[in-house]
Amino acid sequence: MPAHRILILGATGGLGRALQSHFQPGYEVSTLGRSELDLERTDAISATLAAREFDVLLNAAGLTSPDVCEVEPECAHALNVAAPRAIAECCEAKRARMIHFSTDYVFSGEEREIWREGDETEPVNVYGRTKLAGEQAVLGASPGALVARVSWLYGHYKASHPDNVILKALQTDDLSAVADKISVPTSNADICHWVEQLIVSHPDISGPLHLCNSGTATWHSWAEVALKIAQHLGLPVKTTRVRPIALASLTQFKARRPLKTLMSNARLQGILGMEIRSWQDALEEYLVEKHQSK
Q: What is the DSSP code (8-state) at residue 262? A: P
Helices assigned H by DSSP within 72-215: 73-77, 83-94, 126-141, 161-169, 188-201
Residues, the chain, total? 294
Phi, psi angle pair for 46, to nearest 5°: -60, -45
Query: In this structure, which amino acid lies at residue 211?
Result: L
Letter for the amino acid at 228? K
Tell me the β-bridge partners of 186: 153
**Cα–Cα distance, 78 to 80 (Å, whole number):** 6
Given the residues 127, 154, 157, 286, the one annotated as active site: 127
> Which amino acid is it at 63?
L
H or E segment and range at residue 141: helix 126-141
286 is annotated as an active-site residue = no
* Rounded Cα–Cα distance for residues 250 and 26 (Å): 44
Annotated catalytic residues are: 127
